[in-house]
Amino acid sequence: MKTIRRVVCALSGGIDSAVAALRLKQKGFDVVGLYMVNWDHLEEGQSECPQTQDKFVAKSICDRLGIEFHVVNFVKIYWNDVFLYTINNYRKGRTVVPDILCNRIIKFQHFHEYAINRLNADAIATGHFARTSFGDFLENRSEKNKEVLLFRGSDPIKDQSYFLSALTQDQLRRSMFPVGSLTKPQVRQIASDANLNEVLNKPESMGICFIGKRKNFSDFIDQYIEPSPGPVRLIDSGETIWHHSGIHHFTIGKRVSVPHHQYRTHFGLFVVSLEYSTQTVWVCEGTYHPSLFATEFVISQPVWIANSPFDFCGNCDEANTEFSLQRTHKPHPCKLIRFTDNLVKLKPFYPVRAAAPGQICAFYRDSECLGCAEIQYVLRTLAD
């Protein structure tokens, strides 16, 4: 087995990746810092890129650590493989998680290929809060036929295994997570002890992967999706109470603001479903309306990292497991009923609010992340 000597670490200009690079250096690896440019802000007519400062910080960290610094441009790949997919799904009224796709395609595919082929890396590293059975520094890796497992990060608040739930064996087998066994306070203390002042007071990164948080996300999306007017209708009566300019402005489960002269309610209006064929936004009164709570839905194209829930019951067609719809959500117990290898019915043990087509379910068995699948459609709600 080849000894790992040269590790290329993804640097974002934030504290987590900076400490990851520092820990690699302390372990004696030949560390290379690589900053990815994945979004062209000139596309939006901006004369100055808001992420320029991040690149300068990443370069400063590399200088302080005495390691190489490189920059790679993945703008075209990100646009074609991640952003257009995201926009097309928003256009159809689907809820998407671009960070999961971004990790699988950009960070753990093209980034790795560049690191291996151009920078002669033996492995890559990122600042994600996650762990694998091969260890934070691949110290427990063994023969090629042994599967690597993905686990939650040690910090339950910062755990990012949800965003890595679509990674493959090949991708995880070559990846280090140097901060995976640390808590966020420990990361901050390490950065402070090492005088990494450039990243100590930087705010956490937010928003869509590589695009960032926007002051008005609707205005941003409107640059890429043409207006498509349609009705806003009450789920209980079918009454049309308002009109909108595009279903991409709405999210299932979120509150809708309708002018008082159009419709008055003391309970608030919330999105139940988005109908692409008619551009209809269906709404209900009250955040606890039965139509908001799914009791069955269909998931498709599951990605199992090593073990599927069906493996633990002797390859049966019904299996119990747990799933999360968001990184911060507490796992829900559920039953999976397999129709085919690519189509599965999910029955949560208790109703789930705002399960939306396009949303990603990440599956867990205790601290192990088993993989993920996408919600295709909701079969039943408490209203059915």
Residues 23-70 have pLDDT tens digits of 999 999 999 999 999 988 665 555 455 578 899 999 999 999 999 999
201 has a pLDDT exceeding 90: no
Give me the architecture of the 226-285 domain, per CATH.
Answer: Roll (2.30)
Q: Does domain 6-200 have CATH number 3.30.1360.100?
A: no
What residue ranges do the domains of the chain occupy? 6-200, 226-285, 290-381
- CB contact at 8 A, 147 and 132: no
- CB contact at 8 A, 187 and 26: no
pLDDT band at 231 (very low <50, low <70, confident <90, very high): very high
Active-site residue, selected from the candidate residues 9, 49, 62, 102: 102
206 has a pLDDT exceeding 70: no
**What three-state secondary structure class fits 79?**
helix
Active-site residue, selected from the candidate residues 209, 361, 369, 372: 209
208 has a pLDDT exceeding 70: no
315 has a pLDDT exceeding 70: yes
pLDDT band at 145 (very low <50, low <70, confident <90, very high): low
Residue 185, class by beta-carbon neighbours within 10 Å (0-12 exposed, 13-18 middle, 19+ buried)?
Answer: exposed
Residue 209 among the catalytic residues: yes
Higher-pLDDT residue of 364, 264? 364
**What global pTM score does this model have?**
0.94
Among the listed ranges 18-22, 325-329, 373-377, which one has the minimum average pLDDT value?
Answer: 325-329
276 vs 256: CA distance, rounded Å:
18
Rounded percentage of the chain residues whose pLDDT exceeds 90: 85
Give me the architecture of the 290-381 domain, per CATH.
Answer: Beta Barrel (2.40)
What are the structure tokens assigned to 145, written together?
A: 């036929």
Average model confidence (pLDDT) across the chain? 93
- CB contact at 8 A, 68 and 62: yes
Residue 102 among the catalytic residues: yes
Residues 262-282 have pLDDT tens digits of 899 999 999 999 999 999 999
> Among candidates 307, 298, 300, 299, which has minimal Cα distance to 370?
307
